[in-house]
Structure formats: structure tokens, C-alpha cells
A and B are shown apart, each in its own frame.
Chain A
Amino acid sequence: GEDVEQSLFLSVREGDSSVINCTYTDSSSTYLYWYKQEPGAGLQLLTYIFSNMDMKQDQRLTVLLNKKDKHLSLRIADTQTGDSAIYFCAEVYTGTASKLTFGTGTRLQVTL
């Protein structure tokens, strides 16, 4: 079955690195995504990784994928107050056409 889990809350100090974790159950995932949602807003696609990759880096963002453990993480370097938001991981997997299955979201709070 489809199940994507995330921890609910993370608090970090400005300037530190944030690591947001996600676990999923379906081993046939093809793409895995990270979205950011600010209060009252829609979802902004941050980055995605194809399932045959282990790592992807894009400026301050690093995505790590451990297929064996079905674990995905998003690292934000030099976290800023503007990074405060809810972060969702999502997957698309073989056989489901194009629907995204989302995690429950991790609320990131950045403190001064």
C-alpha cells in the first residue's frame, strides 16, 4: 500500500542546517518530491529526485535517497527565517498514472 510518513515538527536556529526526513513504503516509486507550503499558500515545488539517484544538490538544498531503507531526506543549509514553512515529501510510483502521494508534512520553525 501507499504510505508516506514524516515527523510533524522541526525547530532550528537561523544559520544552522535543517534535515527533514521522510519514509515511504512503496518500493516502485519512480520520482520523489519535496514541496514547500507557506501559510495560506499553495505548494511550491522545491526539488525532485529520480529513484535511480542517490543524491541531488541544488544550491542550499540537498536531497538524499536511500532506496534500501525507503528513506528520503531534505537538507537545507544555512537555514533562514524565510525557510519557515511546512515541507511535504511526495512520491509518484509505477502503476498509479500520475497521482502524487503526500506525506503528512513537517512544520519547520526557524528561530533567531
Chain B
Amino acid sequence: NAGVMQNPRHLVRRRGQEARLRCSPMKGHSHVYWYRQLPEEGLKFMVYLQKENIIDESGMPKERFSAEFPKEGPSILRIQQVVRGDSAAYFCASSGVGPNEQFFGPGTRLTVL
């Protein structure tokens, strides 16, 4: 049973480009969460999604960031017009029913040049 998968593991973008981060939840999980970890800091919640629905996006920056979890396929975190401050590790987690156990993926490390 594969765990949470994220790709790419490392992503380099120049300022102004778009970044697309993908997350495939564990088999049977329908809840996906995105977190961001800045260097030397803890993880900060960004967004919580269920299939085709955004449940809580209170941690998402108001501009340039969007997330989706379509009926088919992985969840996507999209960052438009990236800036240097977007450089961070982005982690996806999934759970079955409720928050009891969130299982994390290995993360995508985004570097903006």
C-alpha cells in the first residue's frame, strides 16, 4: 500500500514562472491537506480539500496560490508568478475520515531563483 506520493521532489523555478505541485493521497483516503515549511520553521497549514471541494483555505495566500482536488487524479497546488519568498518545502498529507491521523508525503522542495 503506497503512502502519500508527491512530485516532483525538487522543483526549481525562476521568478515569474508557475509552479505546479502534485499530491496523490494514500489509497482509500479522500482528505488532502497542504502545508508549507519555510527554512528552519515548523509547518504552516495552507488548505484542506476533499474530492472536488475546498473545505478550509484559511492558510492560503490571497493571491497567486490555488489548490484543487479533482474527482480523478492527484491534488494540485499551483503557484503563479513565483517570487523568492515562495521557496520552501511543501508537504501534502492525507487522511481517511477526519483528522485523527494525517499521513505525510515526502514533500516538494521549491527553489525560486
Which residues of chain A have C-beta atoms less than 8 A from B42's C-beta? 4, 88, 102-105
Distance, CA A44 to CA B105, complexed state (A): 9
Contact B56 A97 (CB under 8 A): yes
Contact A100 B45 (CB under 8 A): yes
Chain B residues within 8 Å of A, Cβ to Cβ: 4, 31, 33, 35, 41-45, 48, 55-56, 58-59, 91, 93, 95, 98-107
Which residues of chain B have C-beta atoms less than 8 A from A48's C-beta? 100-101
Once A and B bind, how many residue pairs between them come within 8 Å at the CB atom? 65
A-B contact pairs, 9 of them (CB 8 A): A42-B105, A45-B101, A45-B104, A88-B42, A88-B43, A98-B55, A98-B102, A100-B45, A101-B45
Interface bracket on A: 20 to 34
- Which single member of A31, A43, A102, A105 contacts B100 (CB below 8 Å)? A31
Given contacts A42-B104, A42-B105, A92-B99, whether A98 and B44 have CB atoms under 8 Å apart is no
Which residues of chain A have C-beta atoms less than 8 A from B107's C-beta? 41-42
- Which single member of B44, B55, B104 contacts A97 (CB below 8 Å)? B55
Output the least CB separation between B97 and chain A (Å).
10
Distance, CA A104 to CA B58, complexed state (A): 20
